[in-house]
Structure 1
Amino acid sequence: MMLLLGWRLRPVLVVFIGLPLLKPCLVVASVGDTSYDFQYCLHNCVEEWSGTKYPQNQIDLHLRWLGWTPEEDCQYTCMHAVTEKDVQRGRKIRQFYGKWPFIRIAGVQEPASVFASILNAWAHLTGLQQFTTNTPERYRLRELWMAWSLFSVNAWVWSSIFHCRDTPFTEKMDYFSATAVILVQTYAAARHTNWIRRKNWIFPLALTCFFVYHICYLTFRHRFDYSYNMVAMVTLSVVHSLWWLIWCVLSYRDKPHVRLCVAAIALAGVFMAFEVFDFAPLWGHIDAHCLWHFGTVPVAILWYRFLILDAQQTVDVEHGD
């Protein structure tokens, strides 16, 4: 049995062991912040601020509450000044410091993404409440899926904070929290589909080692490697989705409710395409990443419904109810 289990896990372990070695072939740089017109505008703006006795007090109060500095406010002002000229001249909108030129509201950098993240946190909190209410306590994976729900809520809270105010700290907390959710859900998938047993320690150890490497690699580099992070998250998501789809195909005859699982994975796959094929924000607010966040709300609703039905049927079968 252990030999068979080892062969089942081998392809998955190869992915997690090899993924840290993966380096993207293409590195996308931001041409906006390195352009002459932006640097000229930024230099003049900073020079103007430096001549002020108390430059921080000259920024609006709501911007100060969110931690905006005079230099960052200059970056925002010059970014939109350059973007406005690009639009007038029919040029392609450029990214600045790895980000699109979003229009902030009351100091919030990406209001639409903040709203979408809050909706996702609400969906998981509601789903967790429904799961705990409608799932028998003797269900063997009850605590594991509840833990995944809490990881998800934490991730969406940090997503809201990050899109509200983009700093190196909030960025890392957002990305690392999302990675933790994917890895916990991957472990839950392995347990749910009976590909590993509770006493198996190799697979969770591989997930933990990858998580530690992932954090160290992105933290101690001189610049955050967005390309690597994107490749890593997409790869993990694809592996996780294929894992569930195989199980759904094999279990459909006995578990008709797996159609909800398939629907959730298919819908997530559709919206994941927005993460790969990025585009400049519409009306200064709606970009591909924002649409991906809105799309994960119905995915979460479908997923919790699937988990509840599957838990109820599993308990009925195992205990003969």
Structure 2
Amino acid sequence: MVRARAIVPAVEGVELQQRMPIPLYDGKRAGKGRAWARARQVSWQMASQTCFCVSGTSFMSSSVPQLKNFLSHVHLLTYWLMFHFQEPLSAALSALTLLVQFNGWLSFFLLLSYKLPLRPETHATYYEYTGLWHINALLAMNSWFWCAIYHSCDTAWTEKLYLSSAAAFLGYSLILAILRTSNLRDEASRVMVAAPILAFVTTHILYLNFYELDKGLNMKVCTVISVAQLLLWTVWAAITRHPSRLKVIFVAIGGVLSLYLEAHDVPPRWGYVDGHAICLAMAIPLSYLWWSFAKEDAEMRTAAIMKKKR
């Protein structure tokens, strides 16, 4: 079955006395040869025939410009739902990003395990941040997995898992950013950096799951964490001569654009593409660039250590 969903945010001083009817279509009506029927998008023609009563003023079909202005303020969001997928484009983009993350991690693992030299006494890698990147990959894939599930089926538990996994991934990404940009290698320094961040992120996740699912608070926390790590990577790329510093800068720019789109309410286009979907699309090339940087960073650090040993 294919359904269309309209989301109308609350606007201060505006009372919506009649909701716009959203047609529901059964796939059987489309004929035996079709597996699904496309839901018609709510158009301005439908809106112009619907009566809205706002603050005592009626907007009838003769007041189409005023009606359009009203709808531009309340941001009538229309989505097409296919095969029980509530946001098919967002779910597909999340799944693609998950595949890119897995491919990036696999190529990173193969590079370090079979192509770069290993320590003869322990058969461990020379790259000091190998374990950190492996944990980052697991958290990233977990986050994107639940992102795809959440956009496919929006329920209370999928939403909690989606928000919790995203917060855990972002929190750990901040730890990785601090450790790598500060070039911390000894375990004591790493524990001192990671412990307070892990405690804060864990407390935040427990608050969301067992006290109140405050999306506004979660957005603020994730935004602050994201901005902090983007600043760290940008400054590090600007002051170092790392061969992949341009990739880091491109990823930082893409991250800033994603934060801007997430923070601003972008109305959807063509029933599918809204600001969040654009962010998910941007995550695909950014994930590829990020793992490319990780591999080149491992190659550079391994070459530098081998050169010192000689």
Question: Which ranges of 4 or more aligned residues in structure 1 deviate by more than 6 Å?
Answer: none
State the Cα deviation string for residues 107-137 of structure 1 (Å, max 9, x = none). Answer: 1110110011011001101101111122333
The equivalences for 1:240-279 within 5 A come to 240-252=229-241, 255-279=242-266
Name the stretch that deviates more: 179-188 or 130-139: 130-139
The match for 1:178 is 166
User: 2: distance between equivalents of 1:36 and 1:319?
Assistant: 72
The match for 1:37 is 18
User: 2: distance between equivalents of 1:87 and 1:291?
Assistant: 31
8 A contact 1:158–1:173 mirrored in 2: yes
Residue 84 of structure 1 deviates from its aligned partner by: 5.0
The match for 2:193 is 203
Structure 1 residue identity aligned to 2:167: T
The match for 1:16 is none
8 A contact 1:86–1:92 mirrored in 2: no
Which sections of structure 1, spanning at least 5 residues, go unmatched? 1-28, 43-58, 62-76
Pick closer, same or farther for the CA change 1:273–1:86 going to 2, 3 Å. Answer: farther
- Is the counterpart of residue 285 in structure 1 residue 285 in structure 2? no
User: 2: distance between equivalents of 1:227 and 1:87?
Assistant: 35
User: 2: distance between equivalents of 1:60 and 1:282?
Assistant: 24
The equivalences for 1:40-119 within 5 A come to 85=47, 89-90=67-68, 91-92=70-71, 94=74, 100-119=77-96
Look up the SS of the partner of 2:109 in the other structure.
helix
User: 2: distance between equivalents of 1:92 and 1:154?
Assistant: 37
Residue 86 of structure 1 deviates from its aligned partner by: 7.1
Among residues 142, 149, 161, which one is paired with 1:161 in the alignment? 149
- Is the counterpart of residue 218 in structure 1 residue 195 in structure 2? no
Pick closer, same or farther for the CA change 1:167–1:315 going to 2, 3 Å. Answer: same
> Relative contact order: is structure 1 or structure 2 higher (C-alpha 8 Å, sep ≥ 6)?
1
Look up the SS of the partner of 1:155 in the other structure.
helix
Look up the SS of the partner of 1:103 in the other structure.
strand
8 A contact 1:278–1:289 mirrored in 2: no
User: 1: distance between equivalents of 2:194 and 2:267?
Assistant: 39
Q: Looking at CA atoms only, which structure, 1 or 2, has the larger radius of gyration?
A: 2
The match for 1:69 is none
Structure 2 residue identity aligned to 1:31: A
Residue 256 of structure 1 deviates from its aligned partner by: 2.6
Look up the SS of the partner of 2:272 in the other structure.
coil
Look up the SS of the partner of 2:188 in the other structure.
coil
Residue 213 of structure 1 deviates from its aligned partner by: 2.0
Pick closer, same or farther for the CA change 1:86–1:302 going to 2, 3 Å. Answer: farther
Look up the SS of the partner of 1:264 in the other structure.
helix
The match for 1:66 is none
8 A contact 2:126–2:305 mirrored in 1: no
Structure 2 residue identity aligned to 1:37: Q
State the Cα deviation string for residues 43-100 of structure 1 (Å, max 9, x = none). Answer: xxxxxxxxxxxxxxxx999xxxxxxxxxxxxxxx9xx79x95478643316479xxx4
Structure 2 residue identity aligned to 1:214: H
8 A contact 1:260–1:303 mirrored in 2: yes
The match for 1:68 is none
User: 2: distance between equivalents of 1:147 and 1:105?
Assistant: 35
Residue 280 of structure 1 deviates from its aligned partner by: 2.1
Instruction: Please identify which structure carries the higher helix content.
Output: 1
Structure 2 residue identity aligned to 1:228: L
Instruction: Please identify which structure carries the higher strand content.
Output: 2
Residue 167 of structure 1 deviates from its aligned partner by: 0.8
Among residues 284, 288, 299, which one is paired with 1:312 in the alignment? 299
State the Cα deviation string for residues 143-199 of structure 1 (Å, max 9, x = none). Answer: 210111111111111000000011111111111111111111111122212354422
The match for 2:130 is 142
Residue 214 of structure 1 deviates from its aligned partner by: 1.1
Residue 140 of structure 1 deviates from its aligned partner by: 1.7
Look up the SS of the partner of 1:37 in the other structure.
coil
Which sections of structure 2, spanning at least 5 residues, go unmatched? 1-7, 29-38, 51-66, 117-124
Structure 2 residue identity aligned to 1:269: V
User: 2: distance between equivalents of 1:263 and 1:233?
Assistant: 20
Pick closer, same or farther for the CA change 1:86–1:276 going to 2, 3 Å. Answer: farther
The match for 1:7 is none
What TM-score do you get using the length of structure 1 for normalisation? 0.70
Query: Aligned pair count?
Result: 254
The match for 1:130 is 107
Residue 138 of structure 1 deviates from its aligned partner by: 2.7
